[in-house]
Amino acid sequence: MIDRPLRGSACRWVAHTRGEAVNDDMTSAEMARVGDGLRQQVLRDYEQLEPGETDTWNPVEREGELTYRLSMFYAQAVSLGLSRIPRADLRVLDVGTGNGRSTRSFIDLGLRPEQLTGIDLRPGAIALARRLHPGISFDVYDGERIDAPDGAFNWVQIACVHATIADPEHRLHVARECTRVLEPGGYLFYFDNWVSDWLAGHEVLDPVAIHPELEVVWSSPIRSHQCLPRVRNRMTLIGHDRSFVGKARAFLRPRTRIDRLLHPSHFVMLARRPM
């Protein structure tokens, strides 16, 4: 487990929630302050990374995109296999759904569209998700209270969300909301980068510290090479980039792969809310 202590308000929040039932003890002013800060930071960053209804990961053009999709699909399949809840009875909330791709993957794993709900802070991403996946319910999240009653879902997915949030207090706020809407005995599926994005501090993430009130069922580091087939040139799967940047990446690729053998790219955790 990653030994990285939290500081300041984040540390006080973990100390307050560890081992206690999740409740709504934030005042409306506190909720508004945290939600507004979270929303402004994420929308500002994504205005640079993926503005409006842009889908920068479609089609797949880089090895990193391919390994991310394969790794996450593998982790989802393993986690669903460990669940005590029959798939037909799952009520799924995907927090940070983006354009809906991470929510849509549950259909390939045996769920029906009406079992799925996705939320995201970005209105443009939600508009695109609704067009691409009309059978699934998608809503804009305002960063404050998730628009659902306590225990409304028995499976909450939060994938590559915490890595985009810069403030540890905001991460813990989102985590508490995920737990609030998760019924006792329900599962949280966490899949995220090993370290947060450059715009969010580039620090190692510890999912147990972020979600301290949950019981870990399964967790594992994910190395990006694990889910790629063994072929002579992996880039033949998605074509060659003959630009100067593409040639530079090809030159550095062996070193990059050696580094990936030693250091995880992502971390997966399946956790359960105590009864």
Q: pTM of the full predicted structure?
A: 0.82
| pLDDT number for residue 7 | 35
Give pLDDT tens digits for 15-38.
Answer: 333 333 344 567 889 989 999 999
Exposed, middle or buried by CB within 10 Å (0-12, 13-18, 19+), for 190? Answer: buried
Residue 164 lies in a domain: yes
Domain for residue 104, yes or no?
A: yes
Residue 1 lies in a domain: no
pLDDT tens, residue order, the chain (275 aa): 333 333 333 333 333 333 333 445 678 899 899 999 999 999 998 888 888 888 887 888 777 788 888 899 999 999 999 999 999 999 999 999 999 999 999 999 999 999 999 999 999 999 999 999 999 999 999 999 999 999 999 999 999 999 999 999 999 999 999 999 999 999 999 999 999 887 888 899 999 999 999 999 999 998 766 666 554 454 444 444 556 665 565 555 554 555 555 678 899 999 999 99
Tokens linked to 21:
């039932």
CATH number at residue 238: 3.40.50.150
Residue 160 lies in a domain: yes
Residue 201 lies in a domain: yes
Quote the domain boundaries for residue 180: 8-272
Residue 101: how many other CB atoms lie within 10 Å: 19
The answer to whether residue 2 is domain-embedded is no
Share of the chain above pLDDT 70, in %: 77
Q: Is 26 part of a structural domain of the chain? A: yes
In a domain, 55, yes or no: yes
Summarised one tens digit per residue, pLDDT across range 111-127 is 999 999 999 999 999 99
Number of domains in the chain: 1
Burial class (CB in 10 A: 0-12, 13-18, 19+), 68: buried
